[in-house]
């Protein structure tokens, strides 16, 4: 009991914060998660997938292994070779020609079964990636592998805090602010327009309340989390925040 109280105090004092879902925590027997990189020339070609260059393979491996290790996050990743047997790895990583974005899915279009798949868009620039492009890809990799490890979106759970965060009102690469994106999503889901008079928080907060179901949190809103869309600074630097690290350590020490 004393330990738990001390732990809670430390999180409060240091403003660490994180959002996770307990069912997504890997079991004790699987704290080293294997990853392979899909090569559409070799295995199951799918739409828009690109052949991973040695640069992309090295970029992915270095970014993820530097962010997640036993000594920092407890949960870690290994592999990052081209897939020879899709079913042999816990996670399949795919690069495609779509815009710079990413997503992690529980279902694989490659194997047509339940298997974690991380897809990273490289903006159809495989032969002409700039330093800025590379940083964006690194950030997306660390974010998506955060989902694989069990982390959830900071800005969606702490929605009211996010909408008060000045960074959530700055234009992103798409030109749209995160606040505008959150508002548009809520409006679309509610056949928008009906709640226009409620103001931004009044429109958005009730919609995202459903996101909190089954989610757990440590501390309060973390403006610097790699899982926070509003965090332009850390995301361009491609690194986990102190809160991200401490949340992962809490998850994998205590479950």
Q: Which residue has the higher pLDDT, 5 or 35?
A: 35
Average pLDDT over the chain reads 82
- 76 pLDDT band (50/70/90 cuts)? very high
Dihedrals phi, psi of 64, to nearest 5 degrees:
-75, -45
pLDDT of res. 90:
93
Contact 106, 150 (CB under 8 A): no
- 142: exposed, middle or buried (Cβ count in 10 Å: 0-12, 13-18, 19+): buried
| The pTM of the whole model exceeds 0.75 | yes
Residues 179-223: pLDDT tens digits? Answer: 887 877 776 655 544 544 456 666 677 777 777 888 898 888 999
The CATH number, out of the four listed (3.30.70, 2.160.20, 1.10.1400, 3.30.379), of the domain defined by the range 26-149: 3.30.379
pLDDT of residue 226: 93
Residue of 55 and 204 predicted with greater confidence: 55
Residue ranges of the chain assigned to CATH 3.30.379: 26-149
Among the listed ranges 75-84, 133-142, 233-242, which one has the minimum average pLDDT value?
Answer: 233-242
Query: Quick one: CA dihedral 221, 226, 227, 233, positive or negative?
Result: positive
Where is 215: in which H helix or E strand?
strand 215-219
Is-contact 119 92, C-beta < 8 A?
no
Q: What is the pLDDT of residue 178?
A: 86
Angle at 67 between CA 246 and CA 76, to 5 degrees: 80
Q: Which segment of 106-115, 155-164, 223-232 scores lowest on mean pLDDT?
A: 106-115
What's the confidence (pLDDT) of residue 98? 80
Angle between helix 131-149 and 54-67 (nearest 10):
50
DSSP bridge pairs for 121: 96
Mind listing the pLDDT tens digit for each residue in 110-146?
A: 667 778 999 998 877 777 888 888 888 999 999 999 9
pLDDT category at 45 given cuts 50, 70, 90 is low
């Amino acid at each position: 009991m004393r330990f738990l109280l001390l732990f809670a105090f430390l999180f409060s004092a240091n403003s660490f914060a994180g959002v996770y879902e307990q069912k997504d925590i890997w079991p004790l027997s699987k704290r080293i998660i294997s990853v392979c990189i899909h090569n559409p020339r070799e295995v199951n070609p799918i739409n828009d997938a690109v052949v991973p260059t040695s640069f992309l393979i090295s970029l992915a491996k270095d970014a993820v292994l530097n962010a997640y290790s036993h000594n920092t996050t407890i949960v870690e990743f290994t592999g990052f070779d081209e897939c020879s047997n899709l079913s042999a790895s816990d996670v399949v990583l795919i690069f495609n020609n779509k815009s710079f974005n990413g997503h992690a899915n529980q279902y694989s279009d490659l194997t047509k079964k339940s298997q974690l798949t991380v897809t990273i868009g490289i903006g159809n620039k495989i032969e002409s990636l700039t330093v800025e492009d590379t940083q964006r890809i690194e950030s997306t990799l660390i974010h998506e592998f955060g989902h694989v490890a069990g982390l959830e979106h900071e800005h969606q759970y702490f929605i009211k805090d996010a909408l008060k965060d000045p960074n959530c009102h700055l234009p992103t690469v798409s030109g749209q602010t995160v606040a505008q994106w959150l508002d548009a999503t809520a409006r679309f889901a509610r056949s928008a327009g009906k709640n226009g008079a409620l103001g931004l928080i009044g429109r958005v907060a009730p919609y995202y309340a459903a996101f909190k179901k089954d989610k757990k949190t440590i501390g309060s809103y973390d403006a610097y989390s790699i899982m926070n869309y509003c965090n332009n600074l850390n995301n361009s630097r491609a690194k986990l925040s102190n809160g991200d690290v401490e949340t992962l350590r809490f998850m994998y020490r205590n479950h």
